[in-house]
Structure 1
């Protein structure tokens, strides 16, 4: 089999070209990583400074990072909108939103990791973004709770997850291992933060927090109720939620309770679907009050 694959690569120009391209991409990235050399890419008219030690950097470098979600996200954003980015990481979604909402729009970015937050700030400065309000905070449903941001052995920085300080994570889960490193983080409730900031409604909420979705939504009930046109883009898997002592069902239930319907992008049928089985298996989900809010995304 190995010799057959080698024969195909050597004798098929298209396949050979693809393999060569990937090889050189990986080789170049390994140089950046080996010498810890930061580098920049232009993505959606946004300059993004990547740090090769980070997992997201390699995925972006290979142009494999959430292409469908970024495309739809970009089409949704309109001038003057208010966007919340929970789990902003190095800032790609926040920076894209910043460009699109314009001077009259606002982007509130939350990133709990001190190291990643510093990288987020550098990317905001690189793009001269004046409408992003960065916060070195996590979001949850308890203002006084002490949380740990944990990274396990065998997992990279984009897979860090939040747990209560004294919470015993189920070690039998396949996405759990012994602790490689962790840090204590500060947390706030989105409702409390937005009320103090004078924000009465949010147009788009993006959540990427490796299983902590339920707590964020539970701490945002007021803004979820008051934002009739809100669209939520969020990642949610059963393994991720179990690791944080909740479940996909708990996340879906709270959204349904607050009047949201769930959708996922059906790759085979090239449309948004809402069947429950598909929502559970998708991992990348959209929530809004009417499917019509998503209709303009399909070209």
Structure 2
């Protein structure tokens, strides 16, 4: 029998993993609490068990999480079911740390999380959130944008939408006030300190091509499982990116709203009539299962 929905109750990880997405969403809503701290900062209980610092001016993410207590439940539950104690994981494009919190909890004291986020004010709140929840000792926050090589870039941060911040090459098309100089680091360099790499969540608003290039050594050595946001409209050469991925991961899969993955063809991914962001799931074991 599902747990009764009691306002203020704390959810367990097993409840987050539960098979009924709608019931889990209701549990999160019932447990949501917020406290305004001043200076556009709110402290919010999310996923029924964590405390997160959020920016009240953030319309695209924080406004939803403050009221609902969750974000993208299909991906939330997929990660909650996949990540295990002792794993070494990375949250690339960590934003305010929603998935970083969840993964830090899931890997436990013997695991390790690296959160990669380039937006300076968001990085500061991310660090405070991980520390507040007791995860500072098992996590590292890198204030940088992930890319193909080491260097410096310009980050465009749309007003009220920090989750949509992106690296830009032409400043003329953007308001200079919204541009921030940020370091660029390859994930191969950042993750080099890990004894292994088990799982990565990558959501970088169009920088995925460069990120995959800068992840080549890590993929070749560890073949980690990866959730990667893919939108052909934001790629320089989406077909080339898919070809690059299919080398180490012959069976590309898509994560659906039911938190399940199914194989997907290049033709479907490159369909010009589909403008939605899709979540690719890359798992080297899927190739073994599909081609014994």
Cα deviation for residue 249 of structure 1 reads: 2.3
Within 5 Å, give how 1:1-299 maps onto structure 2: 36-43=40-47, 45-54=49-58, 55-63=60-68, 65-129=71-135, 130-143=137-150, 145-152=151-158, 156-163=161-168, 167-168=169-170, 181-195=178-192, 197=193, 199-228=194-223, 230-241=224-235, 246-267=236-257, 272-280=262-270, 281=274, 283-291=278-286
In the aligned structure 2, how far is the partner of 1:161 from the partner of 1:269? 27
Q: How many residues align?
A: 251
* 1:86–1:111 CA contact under 8 A, matched in 2: yes
Write the distance in 2 (CA, Å) between the matches of 1:159 and 1:33.
25
Long gaps (5+) in structure 2: 1-32
Question: Is contact 1:151–1:180 with CA below 8 Å preserved after alignment?
Answer: no
**TM-fit CA distance, 1:184:** 0.3
SS at match of 1:290: helix
Q: What displacement does 1:261 show?
A: 2.7
SS at match of 2:110: coil
TM-score by length of 2: 0.75
Q: CA deviation at 1:110?
A: 0.8
| Higher alpha-carbon deviation: 230-239 or 72-81 | 230-239
Q: What do the CA deviations read for 1:241-296 (whole angstroms, capped 9, x no partner)?
A: 3xxxx2332322221123353111345896523233443445222111233899xx
Q: Distance in 2 between matches of 1:44 and 1:231?
A: 27
Deviation at 1:75, TM superposition (A): 0.6
Using structure 1 for the length normalisation, give the TM-score: 0.74
Q: Give yes or no for contact 2:148–2:186 (8 Å, CA) kept in 1.
A: yes
In 1, the alpha carbon distance for the partners of 2:196 and 2:128 equals 28
**Structure-2 separation of matches of 1:269 and 1:71:** 7
What RMSD in Å do the two structures reach over aligned CA positions? Answer: 3.2
Secondary structure of residue in 1 paired with 2:167: strand
